[in-house]
Structure 1
Amino acid sequence: MAKSSLLPAILAAFALGSLSFVGYQPAARTADNRVAMRGAAVEWDPKLSRDVVEVMFTAPAQGARARMLVRSDADVMEVLKDGRKKLGFDQEWMPDTDFKLYNAEDEDAGPMKGKMKDNGLIDFSFEIHMYYEPQ
């Protein structure tokens, strides 16, 4: 019987103890935050200013991805060969011409051709999609 009368007392003590953690906390002063952040937000202009850029090479249909370092003056076919090898799609019986590379931001523009710098390559966040499109 002593145990049953002790349980409500323990629960009441626990409830009172937890109330001490709950309380009013004033919000941080927004004026101080604005002063600290003034000038920190700079508009990013996507451009190419580097000779070598890190890109994400993706085969969306397979879910395979790899990061690659690409020269801005590299030919698209050179990047395709390197990307196929990194993802394990470099079987000899599948010619490179059966694969097409697209700028992930603008696939509607069609397959990439020529030099990488002529296909919308930028310094950061550039992704290439590779699709198998046999002739």
Structure 2
Amino acid sequence: MASSSMPAALVLLAVAMTLLNCLSPAFVGTQPALRSTSRVAMEVEWLGGLNRDVVEVFFTAPAQGERTRMVVTPDTTIDQILKDGRKALGFDQEWIPDSDFTLYNEDFPDTPLKGTIGECGLVDFGYEVHMYFTPK
């Protein structure tokens, strides 16, 4: 008798578990909890452009597949970024002058960067410079 009621009990348990899963909220929480946002996050809105005194930029050597991050100010010169980036990626050989490299903004690959990074369209987030070996 116990052996014949065992499959029926398992079926009943499976049906109960299925109903319980359908009626309970998802494991990620209820909808109101997902919509709550902290007050700080609601007050901060990025409108683009440059609003910070210190910005993180990506320094990339696309031909070698090398990339690093560096922190700059809008007054940082392109020459200093090139020097620091070469050192960070291990391309700072003494016998290759900095003048043999050119930096470009990722979004404007036809215009070499000159002057300060602030004059070259620096923005708060997602700014990337690409270094290319261009021997003279």
TM-score by length of 2: 0.71
Closer, same or farther: CA 93–9 of 1 in aligned 2, 3 Å: farther
Deviation at 1:107, TM superposition (A): 1.9
**How far apart, CA to CA, are the structure 2 residues paired with 1:42 and 1:87?**
34
In structure 1, list runs of 5 or more residues that go unmatched. none
**How far apart, CA to CA, are the structure 2 residues paired with 1:95 and 1:11?**
77
Deviation at 1:25, TM superposition (A): 6.5
Deviation at 1:112, TM superposition (A): 0.3
Deviating more after overlay: 78-87 vs 59-68: 59-68
**How far apart, CA to CA, are the structure 2 residues paired with 1:97 and 1:129?**
15
SS of structure 1 residue aligned to 2:7: helix
Deviation at 1:21, TM superposition (A): 2.3
Closer, same or farther: CA 11–118 of 1 in aligned 2, 3 Å: same
C-alpha distance after superposition, 1:77-98 (max 9, x if no partner):
1110000101111112222122
The aligned counterpart of 1:128 is 129
In structure 2, list runs of 5 or more residues that go unmatched. none
C-alpha distance after superposition, 1:25-58 (max 9, x if no partner):
79948xxx5xx9xxx4976332224443221111
TM-score by length of 1: 0.71
The aligned counterpart of 1:56 is 58
Q: How many residues align?
A: 126
Alignment of structure 1 residues 90-129 onto 2, 5 Å: 90-108=92-110, 110-129=111-130
The aligned counterpart of 2:16 is 17
The aligned counterpart of 2:68 is 66
The aligned counterpart of 2:90 is 88
Q: Which runs of 4+ in 1 moved over 6 A?
A: none
CA RMSD of aligned residues (A): 3.2
